[in-house]
Amino acid sequence: MVNKMILNDTEIEIYQYEEEKVNGLQMISVHFKVTSEQYHDITTLLYKGTYQVKIPDRNLSFTGTIRQYFTSFTNLYEKGQVGDFSLSLIEVKEGRTK
């Protein structure tokens, strides 16, 4: 079972993981919880758009960009809140970035 991913140097615990190939490129889809305390750091990370993606449990590593992203909350600044985040990342062909 896959229970974490690493985007750049940030480790994120995930509770759902899917992996597939799209036109020969690696794509993963994950779901994870974000607390109000983590919200700023996670959203700032997601604005970067392109990442070194690592899935240690699958021994998988690639440069990826966001294909789809959504959350159950648009504002987690209120203390004690938890949001569900859904993120799909697709491998970037060498020499191309978003």
Q: What is the pLDDT of residues 12-71, one digit of tens each?
A: 999 999 999 999 999 999 999 999 899 889 989 999 989 999 999 999 999 999 999 998
Q: What is the pLDDT of residue 10?
A: 97
Query: Under 8 Å CB-to-CB from 94, ≥6 apart: which residues?
Result: none
pLDDT for the residue 58: 96
Per residue in 71-90, pLDDT (tens digit) is: 887 666 778 889 999 999 99
DSSP-derived pairing of the beta strands 4-7 and 50-55: antiparallel
Q: What angle do CA 56, 5, 42 make, to 5 degrees?
A: 155
**What's at 24, amino acid-wise?**
G
pLDDT of residue 95: 57
What the block records as the tokens of 43 is 């959203």
First vs last Cα of the chain: how many Å apart? 30
Q: What is the pLDDT of residues 3-28, one digit of tens each?
A: 999 999 999 999 999 999 999 999 99
